Structure 1
Amino acid sequence: MLKFIVLSDLHLVPEGRVSNGLDTAERLALAIESINRDHADADFCLLAGDLADRGEADAYRRLQTILAPLGVPHHITLGNHDNRPVFLDVFGTDEADENGFINKVIDAKGYRVILLDSSEPGKVSGILCDKRLDWLKARLAEASDRPVIVVLHHHANDLALPVDVIKLEEAERFLAVLKTHPDIRQVIAGHVHITTTGVWHGIPFTTLAGSHYNVSLHLESVGGEQKRLEGPAQYAVVLADEQSTLVHFNDYIDRHLQMAPALFG
């Protein structure tokens, strides 16, 4: 059984600061503590973007410090709040692929897991350019004999929520590349600060709420403004074997207090 963790939306800030009133460093430290205590048997942990709140070098150095006690290997990609050049200055250029993107392949226990960089400077929505799509298509072709799980920051499928205006752009191109593979088991994203599951053109898509604030379910039928909530702070636990792929959600901080609008001024 393959087992791995997905963390997303850490929004770390330099020491002495908070993000929207939340101590995101403390929240991440609690996640590491939870993983080490309850999931030390995981094969690895993936960090699916928005590592830093404003892409600052001090935030990335703080991330290194907080990750140090993590007892399982970790792999990283970026989100729209991140700054790729600053991240690479801190973490090293070995984190980038041949095109300079933070993409990675992990082959483990009969699966290929692909970590995909959907961030683009100056964009809140996601981008997968020709180089990234070509890279993904090649990595899928190499693994045509095994199931694949893809993890990235931006969601691709419509969620019928306000955040759809900042989803992955030209998502149909991403879908077309995914369709070149016969067995995509899951596409897992962060970004939206809410837990969702769905099937889009036959492929399962999942989002996790992540480690920062959460948002309430705000469909068209719901009046007023979408609520922003203090929690839960959540990571995903993926269990996968030949027959099945499961995504569980662990609320390692289980609070749901509504946050004051002034925190988002």
Structure 2
Amino acid sequence: MPIHVDSCSRRHFLSTSALLGGGLLTRFSLGAAADGDPESYALLSDTHISADPAKVLRETHLCDNLKAVVAEVKGRPKRAAAVFLSGDAALNDGQPGDYEQLLTQLSPLLGEGAPPLHIGLGNHDDRANFRAIVKPRGPATIESKHVALVEGRDVNWFLVDTLRFTNKVEGELGEEQRQWLNAALKAHADKPAIVVGHHNPQFPPAAQAENAEATQVKHTGIVDTELFVSLLESHRHVKAYIYGHTHNWSHQRRESGLHFINLPPVAYVFDKARPNGWVEVTTTPGKAVFKLHALSKTHPEEGATVELALGPTS
């Protein structure tokens, strides 16, 4: 469920517009960067903040990690056009105190002059508690799945909600949200699109597996991955799906040209060899560059980049 926190600047505005087939699209338009000047964004994921500001999990001080990332984002020479947090904002099951502490830790990125902030929900979040504490702006486009379009100068960002059940690992878009996304992408095909959610794509094993039991794989990602990815690949202007959940910075390009980019966690990693931190995105009319800012500046992947050609939209 995206939250949009404005900086009270006239450069940003919230609106709703009709979509094909009915319903509303919550739109957040950003002020355009100067001609020839790249537009930048900050992508965060998996903060796992607890009500306890001293909470340590997997040898990681959760609030200290988020403080460090917030300081880096705030300290960049160029202010981000928007900040995205792609879910699992809370520790385990999205308690009210978790979100209160989250807002405290994010406070340097809120208020006058700050970039708009969007928070999505993951499987460790709770919609009701999030709504009660964070009070996200904008009308509900879909009753059970809150989504939005953030309009940048070079790219449209479509925010999807993959939360299925709180504190259960798998995620889902669902038919209603897929219909919404399909209509929204059709209605905004004049600009390259990047879709942001929480859960990873998870394709079923090959149908020709000899052992039938081998097909009984536990879902830890998006249960309707095939339908979701097929939808994305049916729209030529969709360039990438960005997600968190697996705590593993990585990149994959499919034969269709669609990119999957897995954000690093702000909090702990499952494999100590992997980086945690955040990703800075700079866009120009021809490309988007994703740059890893690892919390450990000596990590071998610090500064690694992924480049996407934005290309034609039709």
Q: Which moved more, 1:15-24 or 1:201-210?
A: 15-24
Unaligned runs of 5+ in 1: 216-227, 257-265
Deviation at 1:200, TM superposition (A): 2.6
- SS of equivalent to 1:187: strand
* Residue among 53, 61, 74 paired with 1:36: 74
User: C-alpha separation between the residues in 2 aligned to 1:148 and 1:79?
Assistant: 21
In the alignment, structure 1 residue 210 sits paired with structure 2 residue 265:
yes
Partner residue, 1:188: 242
- SS of equivalent to 2:295: strand
User: C-alpha separation between the residues in 2 aligned to 1:173 and 1:17?
Assistant: 39
In the alignment, structure 1 residue 169 sits paired with structure 2 residue 213:
no
User: C-alpha separation between the residues in 1 aligned to 2:285 and 2:78?
Assistant: 22
Q: What amino acid does structure 1 have at the position aligned with 2:39?
A: L
- SS of equivalent to 2:240: strand
Q: Which moved more, 1:140-149 or 1:244-253?
A: 244-253
Q: What amino acid does structure 1 have at the position aligned with 2:285?
A: E
Q: Flag the structure with higher helix content.
A: 1
Would the alpha carbon gap of residues 97 and 25 (structure 1) be closer, same or farther in structure 2, given more than 3 Å must change? farther
User: C-alpha separation between the residues in 2 aligned to 1:150 and 1:74?
Assistant: 16
Would the alpha carbon gap of residues 100 and 157 (structure 1) be closer, same or farther in structure 2, given more than 3 Å must change? closer
- SS of equivalent to 2:137: helix
Runs of 4+ in 1 over 3 A off after TM superposition: 93-98, 253-256
Q: What amino acid does structure 1 have at the position aligned with 2:98?
A: A
- SS of equivalent to 1:35: helix
Superposition RMSD in Å:
2.3
Contact residue 44 and residue 279 of structure 2 kept, 8 A: yes
Would the alpha carbon gap of residues 69 and 174 (structure 1) be closer, same or farther in structure 2, given more than 3 Å must change? same
Deviation at 1:164, TM superposition (A): 8.3
Q: What amino acid does structure 1 have at the position aligned with 2:272?
A: L
Q: What amino acid does structure 1 have at the position aligned with 2:259?
A: P
- SS of equivalent to 2:108: coil
Deviation at 1:83, TM superposition (A): 0.9
* Residue among 132, 153, 157 paired with 1:109: 153
* Residue among 51, 55, 61 paired with 2:89: 51
Contact residue 170 and residue 199 of structure 2 kept, 8 A: yes
Partner residue, 1:12: 49
Partner residue, 2:132: 89
Contact residue 213 and residue 231 of structure 1 kept, 8 A: no
Highest CA radius of gyration, 1 or 2? 2
Q: Which moved more, 1:6-15 or 1:245-254?
A: 245-254
Unaligned runs of 5+ in 2: 1-37, 206-216, 300-314
Q: Which moved more, 1:46-55 or 1:66-75?
A: 66-75
Give the total of aligned pairs.
Answer: 241
User: C-alpha separation between the residues in 1 aligned to 2:158 and 2:77?
Assistant: 21
User: C-alpha separation between the residues in 2 aligned to 1:147 and 1:125?
Assistant: 29
* Residue among 198, 204, 210 paired with 2:252: 198
* Residue among 21, 24, 40 paired with 2:62: 24
User: C-alpha separation between the residues in 2 aligned to 1:7 and 1:176?
Assistant: 26
Partner residue, 1:62: 101
TM-score, normalisation: structure 2: 0.71
User: C-alpha separation between the residues in 2 aligned to 1:198 and 1:62?
Assistant: 34
Partner residue, 2:20: none
Contact residue 231 and residue 253 of structure 1 kept, 8 A: no
Q: Which moved more, 1:195-204 or 1:142-151?
A: 195-204
Contact residue 13 and residue 19 of structure 1 kept, 8 A: no
Contact residue 233 and residue 254 of structure 1 kept, 8 A: no
Would the alpha carbon gap of residues 30 and 211 (structure 1) be closer, same or farther in structure 2, given more than 3 Å must change? same
User: C-alpha separation between the residues in 2 aligned to 1:148 and 1:164?
Assistant: 31
Spell out, residue by residue over 1:130-164, the C-alpha distance to the aligned partner (whole angstroms, 9 max, x if none): 11111111211111111001111111156x9xx98
Partner residue, 2:142: 98
Q: What amino acid does structure 2 have at the position aligned with 1:179?
A: E
